[in-house]
Amino acid sequence: MKERSYMAFLQEARPFIPQERIYTDELRRLAWGTDAGFYRLIPRIVIRSKNEDEISQLLKLASRHGLPVTFRAAGTSLSGQAISDSILIVAGKHWEKYTLSSDHEQITLQPGIIGQRVNEILAPYGRKFAPDPASVKSAMVGGIVMNNASGMNCGTHANSDKVLLSVRIVLADGTVLDTGCPVSRASFEVTHRDFIRRICELRDQVRADEKLAERIRYKYSIKNVTGLNLLPFVRFDDPFDIIAHLMVGSEGTLAFLSEVTMKTEYDYPCKASAMLYFKTIKEACRAVVALKNVTNETGEWTVKGAELLDWKSLASVNDPIFLRYKGEVASSILPGVEPGDESGLTAVLTETKARTPEELHRNITTIESVLRAFHTYIPVHFTDKPEEYSQYWAIRSGIFPSVGGTRKPGTTCLIEDIAFHIENLPEATVELQQLIARHGYDDACIYGHALEGNYHFIINQSFGSDEEVKRYEDLMNAVKTLVVDKYDGSLKAEHGTGRNMAPFVRYEWGEAAFEVMKAVKSLFDPKGLLNPGVIFNDDPQCHIKNFKPLPLLATRDELRGGTEDKCIECGFCEVNCLSCGFTLSSRQRIVLQREISRLRQSGKEPERLALLEKQYKYPGNQTCAGDGLCSMSCPMGINTGDLTHMIRQRALPKGSLGYKAGNFAANHFAGIKSSLRPILGLANFGHSILGTKAMSNIAKGMHNALGVPLWTPAMPKPLPPCSLPYRGEGKGKEAVVYFPSCINQTMGLPKKSPVEQPLVNKMVSLLQKAGYEVIFPANMESLCCGTIWESKGMPDIADRKSAELEAALWEASEQGRYPVLCDQSPCLHRMRETIKKMKLYEPAEFIYTFLKDKLVFTQTDRPVAIHITCSMRKMGLANTLIELAHLCSTHVLIPEEVGCCGFAGDRGFTYPELNAYALRKLRPQIEAAGISIGYSNSRTCEIGLTTNAGIPYVSIAYLVDQCTKPKMRDKE
């Protein structure tokens, strides 16, 4: 019967939801059935929603067929809020619109926009997004609001509930209500008269029960997201305000949030932080209590944040002060501390903010005076330097993934968050630490928002036996007794109730409050179809079921480092994954490869294994750019590109035809390059004869029908070997070894080019303008950095080519006497990874380091766009490129939300749809800024950028050459 209902649902949904956004295959259901939490359910259907009308129709269909529905934005929830074994509706990449009020004090947001993106929008106006979960760089607004996720500074005074003004929601019956729109409110009052009446009845019922009303106020005086949000019934009179605020923390159990309007928060321009170290956790908590209500002369709190990190947290990130403390303990030179016992050291990361430097200094002085009453391990030191305090906060934000990365293979990293009233903090914290230790969790850590009495504790848990599951169950029961019975705190402070605390909602709140929550749920969702099992769950053991497996991926040798097995599937990587929202994300690739690995190891379900491997090929392998940017937002530095390279390597064992072809190409590289020139020439001839439109149409047809690489008008003419410039011998004082990349040795200019010289010639003339003699390595036509083979899954051949290049460059540079320049940043990145005994530079860095003082720059007023390649970001050279561009132009555009271009070597030719998706937000910004040319430092990237931006992109060397003249030098 249920199967027929799902089939009927799909049949009725397909007319208004395109097939490409409905997933019923094994692979993508598994991929989307996983979030950051430690539970997993596999949905029957996954739908990537695009707009409010789709949601309304889908909910009507689900109601008609009696099918449960769960909503998800980013999937960073930790307690099982966003998983489903029925219908999962995703509201992410298509839900990123926003509007900002004229005074910048209000912002209206769709649920798919990332929290950090909101901060970027508000930053120019001195405002910020008030909720600040540690996952703000990855979490989306929908999840932040619907979980009432908070963080290090917003506390209870600036969380989503306190800054929310109105919402636009879709109810279970498909009705759309905008609580901030008078017309929508008036219409709702007519169509849902009984609904409004019932909200008012519940409001009056709660207020009439003085004991309940007081309990609600007390419970929400600290962070609390256990159950539904009851505070609106005592805060607001207007039923629409109550409806709006009931959404906060409801976790999708009441309605779909399609839009939210929130107050923005003033962003103090002056900030300072200090990492305070105490020898005991109790002393640290006593200091936090003392700092809690300290105010300045204007009556504002002096301390804006105080984050506690116990010794295990510090150890997980190799904190240098902890390592020093550990050494002194081991040497028995610390009085009052048992030799070998480093478990007392506790840090409190403290932050203060102000409007002026003078006010900031007064705040620091006040805090330091309070701290004199406490014993710190090292002297108190505040820093107002962003480059210093940002490192502190990066450590704090990455604690969870970092601790998870230290777990034993095969175990699951779990995180819970509780809150105590501040006056109970010292005693309760010590008891919590002892409680966790009593249950045998020796590697557990406690950290979190101590200023709000809010702690997270992380445990690494195996669920491989009944005994281990029972140990976890006993721990949770003990935590319940400590938090609720002894201290009347919150079992869930900010991560949402989820499945993990659903059995304890009634226990924490009591019967009267729980009955009100049930009445609200029944009113909004009478059939109980919205996110069932979350918040309300009749199974007292739902928190010890449906655990997510985390099997090993592969051997350490296969992964060339093995960090992928440390992944906890938090999703922090996805913000930098260009295929996220297109095919699969970096997190989903690891999820799927873990399942494939599990099936391989078990030998079970061979048919399912074969199906997953087949379905993985295009979305998992072929559309992974392998750029490694995912590692930059992963606290563990996990590079899913390495995993993709491993998969490609498995598909090309030595002796296979593909491997032999790769080996032949490596051994005959000069000839292979020469054979490419006639192909480029033929394509250019066709372009000249047929014209751009006809040639483009023919090329698209051949690509779609035959799978041949896609030609675009940005494709260049061939560059004959004879056109390479004169090769100097490097006898002058100022000399540089110049290794033009393979592609720049082969490719000339496109038919319509804004520049006149091929890059190799232009680079040489620029170097000579600055007084440098240019040295080329011997046998240059045969040399390559190896990137081509690495990306194809042939790392041994890649390393062999790198070694050949290293030897040639070592000779040409006279054993490192001269610096080495490569004109392609991706090539230079690999060279730096494999060649360590020479100083290697890409164009922007070399120009900025060596040529800047030898040239006279004259800025142009012509606006230009800059594309920062993945390799530049990974090498930490993004700012170098930007600063160099600013030396040349008064108007430099760094397009927002454009990361990796997706060209990925030759992927832009073979899978141009990946390139187009990656750059989907580029062209509108280019056109809005009136830009006619862009600059970068990777030829392949520039081809893709030109194709998708509507303007030509060329090397940054051309801009520098155009805007400079040689500086007059004294005659020797």
3-state secondary structure of 477: helix
**pTM (predicted TM-score):** 0.93
**Which domain-ending residue is among 852, 886, 915?**
852
Q: Please, which pLDDT band fits residue 847 given cuts at 50, 70 and 90?
A: very high
Q: Is residue 841 part of a domain?
A: yes
**Cβ 834 vs Cβ 794: under 8 Å:** no
DSSP-assigned states of every residue in 630-646: GGGS-TT---HHHHHHH
| Sign for the pseudo-dihedral over CA of 220, 224, 230, 235 | positive
Residue 738: is its pLDDT beyond 60?
Answer: yes
Instruction: Output the pLDDT for position 972.
Output: 44
pLDDT tens per residue, range 162-218: 999 999 999 999 999 999 999 999 999 999 999 999 999 999 999 999 999 999 999
Does 704 lie in the same domain as 572?
no
Query: Distance (Å, rounded) from C-alpha 8 to C-alpha 589?
Result: 31
- Whether 511 maps to a domain, the answer reads no
Same structural domain, 23 and 55: yes
Question: Domain boundary residue among 90, 106, 128?
Answer: 90
User: What string of DSSP letters covers 547-592?
Assistant: BPP----S-HHHHTS-GGGG-----GGGGG-TTTTTS--HHHHHHH
Q: What percent of the chain has pLDDT over 90?
A: 77
Q: What's the mean pLDDT in 843-860?
A: 96
Read off the pLDDT band of 328 (50, 70, 90): confident
Of 204, 234, 266, at which residue does a domain stop?
A: 266
Quote the longest CA-to-CA distance of the chain: 95
CATH code of residue 868 = 3.40.50
Asked whether residue 757 falls in the same domain as residue 810, the answer is: yes
Instruction: Check if the beta carbon of residue 225 is closer than 8 Å to that of residue 497.
Output: yes
**Cα–chain-centroid distance for residue 816?**
39
How far apart, in Å, are the Cα atoms of 45 and each of 42, 86, 87, 395? 9, 6, 5, 38
Residue 497 covered by a domain: no
**Whole-angstrom distance, CA of residue 767 vs CA of residue 775:** 11
Give, as one character, the DSSP assignment of residue 543.
Answer: G
Give the model confidence (pLDDT) of 456-472 as tens digits: 898 988 888 999 999 99
Q: Which residue has the higher pLDDT, 114 or 327?
A: 114
Q: Which residues pair with 265 in a beta bridge?
A: 128
**Phi/psi of residue 439, nearest 5 degrees:** -90, 10
Cβ within 8 Å of residue 393, ≥6 positions away:
152, 273, 349
Report how far residue 891's alpha carbon sits from residue 223's, in angstroms, rounded to the nearest whole number.
46
Structure tokens at 938: 């990777």
What percentage of the chain's residues is helix, strand, coil (to nearest 5)?
A: 50, 15, 40
Rounded to the nearest integer, the mean pLDDT of the chain is 92
Q: Which residue has the tokens 């002194």?
A: 328
In this predicted model, what pLDDT tens digit does every residue of 886-903 receive, in sequence order?
Answer: 999 999 999 999 999 999
pLDDT at 730: 53
Q: Determine the average pLDDT of the residues in 638-646.
A: 91
Closest by CA position to 504, among listed 518, 494, 490: 490
Q: Which domain CATH number covers 81?
A: 3.30.43.10
CATH of residue 201's domain is 3.30.465.10
Q: Is 544 within the bounds of a domain?
A: no
CATH number of 487's domain: 3.40.462.40
Going from the C-alpha of 402 to that of each of 87, 519, 793, the distances in angstroms are 33, 41, 29
- 108 and 183, same structural domain? yes
Of 623, 655, 659, 653, nearest in space to 641 by CA? 623
Exposure class string for 205-226: b at 16+ Cβ within 10 A, else e: ebeeeeebeebbeebbebbbbb
Spatial contact of 229 and 161, defined as CB atoms under 8 Å apart: yes
- What CA–CA distance (Å, rounded) separates 61 from 74? 24
Per the rule left: phi > 0, alpha: psi between -120 and 50, beta: everything else, 707 is left
The 10 Å Cβ neighbour count of residue 512 is 14
pLDDT computed for residue 375 by the predictor:
92
Confidence at residue 901, expressed as pLDDT on a 0 to 100 scale? 95
pLDDT at res. 722:
60
Is there a single domain that holds both residue 63 and residue 116?
no
Q: Look at residue 415 and tell me whether its pLDDT is greater than 50.
A: yes
Q: Which residue has the tokens 């599990």?
A: 598
Residue 547 lies in a domain: no
Inform me whether the pLDDT recorded for 407 exceeds 70. Answer: yes
Question: Whose CA is closest to 34, among 18, 46, 21?
Answer: 46
Start-to-end CA span in the chain (Å): 94
One-letter amino acid at 215 equals R
| Dihedrals phi, psi of 818, to nearest 5 degrees | -110, 145
pLDDT tens by residue, 10-57: 999 999 999 999 999 999 999 999 999 999 999 999 999 999 999 999
Give the span between the Cα atoms of 775 and 834, in whole angstroms: 21
CA distance 497 to 485: 18
Residue ranges in 333-444 assigned as alpha helix (H): 357-371, 386-397, 399-405, 425-438
Do the domain assignments include residue 803? Answer: yes
834 & 859 share domain: no
**Burial class of residue 487 (count of CB atoms within 10 Å of its CB; 0-12, 13-18, 19+):** buried
Q: What is the DSSP letter of 149?
A: -
Q: Residue 385 above 70 pLDDT? A: yes
User: Does the structure show a pLDDT above 60 at 242?
Assistant: yes
Supply the pLDDT for residue 578: 94
Residue 861 domain boundaries: 855-966
- CB proximity list for 908: less than 8 A, separation 6 or greater: 901, 902, 914, 915, 940, 943, 944, 947
Residues 423 and 570 in one domain: no
Query: What region does 252 belong to: left with phi over 0, alpha with psi -120 to 50, or beta?
Result: left
pLDDT recorded at residue 969 = 63
CB count in 10 Å sphere of residue 201? 13
- Cα(361)–Cα(353) distance, integer angstroms: 10
**pLDDT (tens digit per residue) in 428-453:** 999 999 999 999 998 889 998 999 99
Instruction: State whether 837 and 860 are in the same domain.
Output: no
Please check the confidence at residue 333 and state whether its pLDDT lies above 70: no
On whether both 178 and 278 belong to a single domain, the answer is no
Q: Which of 663, 747, 657 is nearest to 946 (CA)?
A: 747
- Tens of pLDDT, residue by residue over 513-571, are 999 999 999 999 999 999 999 999 999 999 999 999 888 886 445 545 557 788 889 89
**Three-state DSSP class for 743?**
helix
Are residue 283 and residue 251 in the same domain, yes or no? no
Record the tokens describing residue 345, joined without a space. Answer: 């050291």
d(CA 823, CA 761): 11
The dihedrals phi and psi of 835, each to the nearest 5 degrees, come to: -115, 115
Region 948-952 average pLDDT = 96
CA dist 449 and 224 (Å) reads: 13
Q: How far apart are CA 111 and CA 725, in angstroms?
A: 55
> How many angstroms from the chain centroid is the CA of residue 444?
25
Quote the DSSP letter at residue 530. Answer: B
Percent over 70 (pLDDT), the chain: 96
| Tens-place pLDDT, residues 770-792 | 999 999 999 998 999 999 999 99
Angle at 74 between CA 70 and CA 80, to 5 degrees: 50
- DSSP letter (8 states) at residue 861: -
Over residues 289-325, the pLDDT tens digits come to: 999 989 888 888 999 999 999 998 898 888 899 999 9
Q: What phi and psi, each to the nearest 5 degrees, are found at residue 122?
A: -85, -20
Does any domain span residue 572? yes
Token pair of 491 as six digits: 């079992």
- For residue 127, is pLDDT > 80? yes
Highest average pLDDT, of 256-270, 332-346, 688-702, comes from 256-270
Q: Is residue 662 part of a domain?
A: no
Is residue 204 within a helix (H) or strand (E), and if so which, with residue range? helix 193-208
In DSSP terms, which residues pair with 866 in a beta bridge? 935
Distance CA 441, CA 597 (A): 28
CA distances 338 to 342, 430, 526, 666, 713, Å, are 8, 18, 60, 61, 73
Assigned token pair, 637: 């530095």
Statement: residue 970 has pLDDT above 60: no
User: At which residue do the structure tokens 């997270």 appear?
Assistant: 456
Q: How many domains does the chain have?
A: 6
696 and 834 share a domain? Answer: yes
Residues 281 and 348 in one domain: yes
